[in-house]
Amino acid sequence: MNPIAHTHKHKIEIAQGTLGGLVKSFGFYPADSLIIEWMKSGELVLTQRADMQEFLEPTDLSRSYLELFVEPGRTYHADQAIVLACLDHMDERIYLGIDAVEEVLAEYEIHLAEIFVFAGDRIYSRDCGGECDPHMMRVEKQISRVVRANGCESDSSMFIDAEAFPEVPSAEDLSPWRASESAFVQQLLGHGCASAATVEIARMVVALEDTRIRDSILWDLANGVYDPESVAESLCELLPRLDANHGAALATTAAICWWLHGNGAMANICIARALSDSPHYPLATIIRSALDYALPPEFWLEGVNELTRKECLAGVDVAF
């Protein structure tokens, strides 16, 4: 094997490993996605995902959209980028879309180091030519983003009966109720809520719909009381059981758990569910903006940790 072929083979192995790592990190195969890995001094600083369709219509790609797409790289002072495109089948238009991205990257002195296209069961790099042997993908694709997103949607066949949700007490009784319900939710999350009794789940959902209780639980998350990934998975299992009247608070809490865990892809899925149920839910709109700009959760953690848990529960907003 000549040195050039050896280098090409090594790049394909890198592509396999990179995609395998993304599937493990996201928890699903990122079908119909354009992914960009931002690098600084040879180190990965951020992985960003976007829907593919925009980039298959390069003539419709606006300058403002491209600026927004590369903004996270600028925020993290990236000097290189690697682009991975995941398609059901090869569509040559993707290269025109990537060219448009590369043009904007060049203006900010960010070098597009490599392009990998995963189409069907094949892998292509920018070095692949007409005489290149087919490179077959060896990555598990059974669980897709669509499957994970559907798993977070409401399912009427699983709904918790409306009568199971307790009523919030009157204003004069709110303070002791908040204290007891916050302690209840804290304990339930600590033991895994997905397998809890229906009456307990309904009680937790109503409690999280109260901003003060929700913020006290978010304070717990920010301070390592729970494992974010474990809580996120448990809450996602409950989302199909909630109709649009009760999904927003729990879905937003799940999104923040995923965000803290470093899985922005799943955080976006949960925020989409929250905003579908309640388009103006304040915390969901803020987290949506943070995810759109690929902000790290540290900016949110700083605000949370300016307060104590008691202050959160007593009435000082930490979650905006």
List helix spans (H) across 128-210.
Answer: 145-150, 174-191, 198-208
Q: How many CA atoms lie within 13 A of 18 on its CB side?
A: 23
> Is 251 among the domain residues?
yes
Whether the Cβ atoms of residue 113 and residue 82 lie closer than 8 Å to each other: yes
Question: Has residue 209 got a pLDDT over 90?
Answer: yes
Whether the Cβ atoms of residue 38 and residue 72 lie closer than 8 Å to each other: yes
> Is 278 among the domain residues?
yes
Say yes or no: 119 and 265 in one domain.
Answer: no
pLDDT tens-place string over residues 69-91? 999 999 899 999 999 999 999 99
Q: Which of 110, 125, 145 is the last residue of a domain?
A: 145
pLDDT tens-place string over residues 229-262? 999 999 999 999 999 999 999 999 999 999 999 8
Burial pattern 145-158, b for ≥16 Cβ within 10 A else e, equals beebbeebebeeee
Q: Which of 110, 145, 180 is the last residue of a domain?
A: 145
Q: Which of 95, 120, 145 is the last residue of a domain?
A: 145
Say yes or no: 61 and 197 in one domain.
Answer: no
> Is 150 among the domain residues?
no
Which pLDDT belongs to residue 318?
Answer: 47
Say yes or no: 80 and 186 in one domain.
Answer: no
- Which are the contacts of 121, defined by CB distance < 8 A and separation ≥ 6? 136, 137
Which pLDDT belongs to residue 185?
Answer: 97
Say yes or no: 194 and 229 in one domain.
Answer: yes
pLDDT band at 134 (very low <50, low <70, confident <90, very high): confident
Question: Has residue 129 got a pLDDT over 80?
Answer: no
Strand partners of residue 108: none
> Is 241 among the domain residues?
yes
Say yes or no: 101 and 164 in one domain.
Answer: no
Say yes or no: 98 and 161 in one domain.
Answer: no
pLDDT band at 106 (very low <50, low <70, confident <90, very high): very high
More confident residue, 73 or 191: 73
| Concatenated DSSP letters of 267-298 | HHHHHHHHHHH-TT-HHHHHHHHHHHTT--TH
Tell me the C-alpha distance between 187 and 119, whole Å.
Answer: 46
Tell me the C-alpha distance between 134 and 127, whole Å.
Answer: 12
> Is 123 among the domain residues?
yes
Which pLDDT belongs to residue 1?
Answer: 45
Range picked from 14-23, 172-181, 309-318 for highest mean pLDDT: 172-181
Q: In what order do the strands lie in the sheet with 135-136?
A: 43-51, 33-40, 80-87, 111-119, 122-125, 135-136
- Which are the contacts of 138, defined by CB distance < 8 A and separation ≥ 6? 16
Which pLDDT belongs to residue 2?
Answer: 43
Identify the CA nearest to 19 among candidates 30, 8, 6, 7: 30
Say yes or no: 121 and 163 in one domain.
Answer: no
Which pLDDT belongs to residue 9?
Answer: 83
> Is 75 among the domain residues?
yes
Tell me the C-alpha distance between 240 and 236, whole Å.
Answer: 8
Please tell me the least confidently modeled range out of 105-109, 143-147, 264-268. 143-147
Say yes or no: 309 and 185 in one domain.
Answer: yes
More confident residue, 133 or 117: 117
Say yes or no: 237 and 180 in one domain.
Answer: yes
pLDDT band at 5 (very low <50, low <70, confident <90, very high): low
> Is 288 among the domain residues?
yes
Say yes or no: 170 and 111 in one domain.
Answer: no
Question: Has residue 119 got a pLDDT over 50?
Answer: yes
Please tell me the least confidently modeled range out of 59-63, 169-173, 223-227. 59-63
> Is 319 among the domain residues?
no
**Can you give the residue range of the structural domain that contains 293?**
156-314
> For position 31, which CATH number holds?
3.40.140.10
Say yes or no: 166 and 138 in one domain.
Answer: no
Query: What's the number of domains the chain is made of?
Result: 2
Say yes or no: 38 and 91 in one domain.
Answer: yes
pLDDT tens-place string over residues 20-73? 999 988 989 999 999 999 999 999 999 999 999 989 987 888 889 899 899 999
